[in-house]
Amino acid sequence: MKKLEASSLLSSLLILSGILALLFLTKENWLKQESVANSYYQQYLSSKLTFLKRVNQNECASQKKEIVEEKIGELIYSYQCEMNSLFIKPKPTKDKYIAVDNIANWLDLDSYASQIIYINSLSELPKNSEDDPKIVVAKKAIEERLDEHFYGIIITDYHFDITGYKRVYGVLYSTFDNEREERNLTFRRAVVDNLEKKYSKWHLVPNSKNILHKEKEYSRILALVLDVHIMIKNTI
């Protein structure tokens, strides 16, 4: 009888020690799960905060492209940018002379009013180049000799004619009938492209901040880890 009691006691002690060992291992596992979950969550929040700061700093304006992708930590974010071009109507591709009724329907001059130069004479033309073209508005009729090449856009409501051997490389917009075989006016695509780069603005398209596949996967794994952690914790 005593042997039976001793055997039962030993069995009970073994079972109890097994249960305690299991609880200890389970508790250790819980702590590891909690540590992993917290680590993932901190990384997630940190990358989100960094992303929002970058977007607020207007990455669209610096990168100047329609789709911007950024990797922050282990996450990849995407958002869409849109360009407000100087050219309201399609930018010229071959026309050196464009007859207009109202320049406001063709060019967004209001957004760049401080950078537009007004002249009474060709001698008042600013320094310019193909890489740094200018927008000029003639305030009166002009018929003069051009002493240096001009790169950019000239806008006029008056008679405009230039003489000499130098040329205007770009586009002439005119409400006055200046259409003729102008030997001193030449369309140059690079000038138009550089004008658009210089006098256009990029902005973030509202609600375009997308979560890419990797972040979706990352978020799904994080949610799964948190769910498992909660489930295990509730079983304590």
Tell me the per-residue pLDDT of 111-137, one tens digit each, with 9 for 90 and over: 999 999 999 999 999 999 999 999 999
- Measured CA to CA, the distance from residue 103 to residue 109 in angstroms comes to 8
Number of H helices, E strands in the chain: 4, 12
Owner of token pair 């905060």: 49
Query: In whole angstroms, how far apart are CA 195 and each of 74, 168, 189, 208, 220?
Result: 38, 14, 10, 27, 46
Owner of token pair 């250790």: 28
Higher pLDDT pick, 63 / 108: 108
Q: Model-level pTM greater than 0.75?
A: no
pLDDT reported for residue 76: 73
Burial class (CB in 10 A: 0-12, 13-18, 19+), 187: middle
* Cα 12 from chain centre: 69
According to DSSP, residue 207 is labeled T
- Measured CA to CA, the distance from residue 35 to residue 148 in angstroms comes to 71
Higher pLDDT pick, 203 / 109: 109
pLDDT class of 66 with cuts at 50, 70, 90: confident
Percent with pLDDT over 90 in the chain: 43
Comparing CA positions, the residue from 127, 167, 161 lying closest to residue 147 is 167
- Measured CA to CA, the distance from residue 224 to residue 12 in angstroms comes to 38
Owner of token pair 């596992």: 29
Q: Is the dihedral of CA 116, 118, 121, 124 positive or negative?
A: negative
pLDDT class of 17 with cuts at 50, 70, 90: low
The answer to whether 226 and 37 have CB atoms below 8 angstroms apart is yes
Q: Is the dihedral of CA 66, 67, 71, 75 positive or negative?
A: positive
pLDDT class of 51 with cuts at 50, 70, 90: low
Element containing residue 40 per DSSP (H, E): helix 2-56
Task: For residue 72, give both structure tokens.
Answer: 């922050």
Rg (CA), the chain: 35
